[in-house]
Structure 1
Amino acid sequence: EPGNSDPTYLTHAARAALREKFLHADIAMTGVNFAVASSGAFVVCTNEGNADMGTSFPKVHIAIMGLEKVVPDYDALALYVRLLARSATGQPSTTYTSHYKKPVEGQEMHIVIVDNGRSDILACTEHVNMLKCIRCGSCINTCPVYRRTGGYSYSYFIPGPVGINLGMLKSPEKYSGNVSACSLCYSCSNVCPVKIDLAEQIYKWRQNLAPLHLADPSKKLMVKGMKFIMNHPGLFYNAIAAGRVAERMPRFVLYNSLDAWGVGRELPEFAKETFNEMWKKGLKAD
């Protein structure tokens, strides 16, 4: 029904359309959250139960896992399963933590171990920590840039701090624009449950943009201009005053082909008082 966004209605509609496909599928395909080296089992964590239902009926189960998903034993698994849920949604554990070790009699199970550049990351001392990621999303939850802009602001299919680093490891030429989507607040490094130095790695990528010939010339020019202005307080406060005047200019002056920021955005309003003015007033009052 067009325009109906009621969650209950949409759930029933999805169930009616998809349940028969689940029941009669020939092949089930899942990912792998963790693989246990000591037993050969692997674990799939979900909150919806789709993996359980999806793997119960088909005769063939294909599980696809990155080579970094291996943990040594069940003691390690117990720790990681709790760590994943608590860091992602605050749950004690995911609703469904399904263990697979061998196929049901008469059925097949295939495990596809994917490298896809992971061996190269393993050999890269500056960025090898990215292979520790358990995909909990805590860095995305805390990131002020992601919270304001959303996932579609990033060109790589994984957004946020983890996506910035993984995108650069995949192709710096293609995904270098994402490096700018970071305030270097270091919140992501602070909350990461497996202690990945996410912000530190993003900073390293920024330092390497010029040697890789990926630094945007216009941004380099803007940074030089900002550095010059901020090193001269008189110019800085005059620039703020000029900004307040600019707010009263006609739109065609502010929003034109020279203003890339203004494409799809409104310029922010200047505060009535600068922090410096408020500070001086406070000193006089004391």
Structure 2
Amino acid sequence: MSHPLRAAAFTSDAERTTWHDETLWFVRQKRDKAVYGIPEFQQLRQLASDIKEHTLSRLDEYLEQFEQNARANGVQVHWAADAEEHNRIVLDLIRKAGATSLVKSKSMLTEECHLNPYLVNNGIAVVDTDLGERIVQLREEAPSHLVLPAIHLKKEDVGETFHQHLGTPKGEKDPQALTEAARLHLREKFLIGEVAITGVNFAVAETGAVVVCTNEGNADLGVNLARVHIACMGLEKLIPRTADLGVFTRLLARSATGQPVTTYTSHFARPAAGREMHIVIVDNGRTRQLGRPDFRASLKCIRCGACMNTCPVYRRSGGHSYDFTVPGPIGAILSPNIDMRQHSSLPFASTLCGSCTDVCPVKIDIHAQLYKWRQIIAQEGELPAAKKLGMKLLSSVLARPGIYRLGGKIAREGLRFLPHGLTHAQALNPWAKARELPEAPKQSFRDWYAQQAVKQ
């Protein structure tokens, strides 16, 4: 199903759509307030972008350095070419540990690889321990946002979900009571979890350590209580030195939620005595993206979600309309790299207003890359038939000034005399579904210009 069709399903609930829009804009405003308090914020953005650019230009060297240092720390390092290999490696490690259950903190990479259903189908009980992730897991839904996975749900939705799965009183919607119920439920899971899986926010080549940023402390609980820790990371998460880390931690939380820093910034460098630590480094199309000069900068992404919070299309259409693990503007760049045909509609889910680029903490030219993807998708013949026909017709009109002038005159006269119900009929003019057409001018700019030239 294309993005427009999925978006239509979400926007059919006007009240929820408006609430979703306003909530994300509130987060965007928090980001702005946090940014304005840092005079050197733009310099930090440029520095972060430069560090990522440098790292990507020597990615092979830094990956080898990271592996060498991690192994020296007693960490076992595994390499996965794609999602299927990643899932097999994780399952093998769980089975070697003799485990049948695990606890998992937030990891968009494991979502990308569809690890949860893979493990469940192989008899492993998986519990997501991030509150938002646990909510959508109980509802058998995908996360709708990188940082706020349950942002599409209201407290009443969460209350009903917890009533069904955790036995909370029906109608309970007090956030504090629901959070307490989740805490009690998850503490038991932490205690019996035999394996802990985490994502990786940053991997430091200089030390072989991985850094995980959370606000709930669930990654720390899981890792410190389980005997085996498996950290799953995309190969683009590398930074060269520990000294570089402060640049990104100052940017990440401010861009994501408007906080000065995440509540927990945890460093995992080596396994504790008698325990195991594994790092699974995953490609899954990233080197292909690296080899595309127009799109390699998308690998700088630190998964803050700022582009989603500001995007007028994402805010109104919801994360699930993107049908991809990473939704929003950055997801619309990454998804065609995985499957151009399946995700051909996503680069068009944008106004190209550039707000996503303006807020990106690592200065990815998101709107420019979306425009470039549109060109490639058109060249590869992946546009819908109606859009191809429409573009051919439009190019034909624009190439013929006489036809263009005649069309403009007909449109101006038509808008003045045709009834509103006809000019705004959704079947004929979907653009006017939530917009009002402007009052038609009496003459075109070309006619006005010709009159002025005569007068002079």
Bin for the TM-score computed over the shorter chain: 0.7 to 0.9
Which digits, 9 at most, give the CA deviation of each residue in 1:173-209, with x for residues without a partner? 1100112211111111122111111111110111112
1:212–1:243 Cα change, 3 Å: farther
Aligned counterparts of 1:107 and 1:260: Cα–Cα separation in 2: 63
The reply on whether 1:176 has 2:333 as its aligned counterpart is no
Aligned counterparts of 1:217 and 1:261: Cα–Cα separation in 2: 17
Instruction: Specify which structure has the higher proportion of helix.
Output: 2
Secondary structure of 1:15's aligned partner: helix
Give the partner amino acid of 1:211. Answer: Q
Say if 2:311 and 2:328, in contact at 8 Å, map to a contact too: yes
Q: Which deviates more from structure 2 when the two are superposed, residues 208-217 or residues 219-228?
A: 219-228
What TM-score does the superposition give when structure 2 sets the normalisation length?
Answer: 0.54
1:179–1:239 Cα change, 3 Å: farther
Aligned counterparts of 2:293 and 2:371: Cα–Cα separation in 1: 15
Structure 1 gaps of 5+ residues are 249-253, 278-286
C-alpha displacement at 1:18, in angstroms? Answer: 1.8
Structure 1 residues 92-107: aligned runs within 5 Å: 92-107=260-275
1:4–1:260 Cα change, 3 Å: farther
Structure 1 residues 30-179: aligned runs within 5 Å: 30-179=198-347
Secondary structure of 1:136's aligned partner: coil
Q: 2:379 aligns with which of 211, 216, 236?
A: 211
Aligned counterparts of 1:46 and 1:59: Cα–Cα separation in 2: 21
Aligned counterparts of 1:185 and 1:14: Cα–Cα separation in 2: 40
The match for 1:198 is: 366
Give the partner amino acid of 1:86. Answer: R
Say if 1:66 and 1:115, in contact at 8 Å, map to a contact too: yes
Structure 2 gaps of 5+ residues are 1-162, 164-169, 398-402, 443-456
Secondary structure of 1:48's aligned partner: coil
Aligned counterparts of 2:410 and 2:428: Cα–Cα separation in 1: 22
The reply on whether 1:234 has 2:442 as its aligned counterpart is no
Say if 1:244 and 1:270, in contact at 8 Å, map to a contact too: no
Aligned counterparts of 1:230 and 1:270: Cα–Cα separation in 2: 23
Aligned counterparts of 1:3 and 1:276: Cα–Cα separation in 2: 55
C-alpha displacement at 1:260, in angstroms? Answer: 11
Q: Bigger relative contact order, structure 1 or 2, given CA contacts below 8 A and separation 6+?
A: 2
Q: 1:274 aligns with which of 426, 439, 445?
A: 439
The match for 1:246 is: 422
1:239–1:90 Cα change, 3 Å: farther
Which digits, 9 at most, give the CA deviation of each residue in 1:202-248, with x for residues without a partner? 10111112221101121233345567497543223245344613279
Say if 2:412 and 2:441, in contact at 8 Å, map to a contact too: no
The reply on whether 1:22 has 2:190 as its aligned counterpart is yes
1:39–1:213 Cα change, 3 Å: same
Say if 2:233 and 2:281, in contact at 8 Å, map to a contact too: yes
Give the partner amino acid of 2:339. Answer: S
Aligned counterparts of 1:81 and 1:275: Cα–Cα separation in 2: 51
Give the total of aligned pairs. Answer: 266
Q: Which deviates more from structure 2 when the two are superposed, residues 9-18 or residues 183-192?
A: 9-18
Which digits, 9 at most, give the CA deviation of each residue in 1:245-270, with x for residues without a partner? 3279xxxxx57xx67969xxx93363
Aligned counterparts of 1:274 and 1:245: Cα–Cα separation in 2: 15
Secondary structure of 1:174's aligned partner: coil
Aligned counterparts of 2:384 and 2:201: Cα–Cα separation in 1: 38
1:54–1:243 Cα change, 3 Å: farther
Aligned counterparts of 2:414 and 2:434: Cα–Cα separation in 1: 15
C-alpha displacement at 1:157, in angstroms? Answer: 2.1
Say if 2:212 and 2:267, in contact at 8 Å, map to a contact too: yes
1:52–1:119 Cα change, 3 Å: same
Q: 2:389 aligns with which of 200, 204, 221?
A: 221
Give the partner amino acid of 1:205. Answer: W
1:95–1:174 Cα change, 3 Å: same
Backbone CA RMSD of aligned residues: 2.5
Give the partner amino acid of 2:387. Answer: K
Give the partner amino acid of 2:298. Answer: M
Aligned counterparts of 1:67 and 1:145: Cα–Cα separation in 2: 29
Secondary structure of 1:153's aligned partner: helix
Give the partner amino acid of 2:250. Answer: R
Aligned counterparts of 2:220 and 2:441: Cα–Cα separation in 1: 60
C-alpha displacement at 1:123, in angstroms? Answer: 1.4
C-alpha displacement at 1:84, in angstroms? Answer: 0.9
Secondary structure of 1:80's aligned partner: helix
Which digits, 9 at most, give the CA deviation of each residue in 1:73-101, with x for residues without a partner? 11111111111111111211111000111
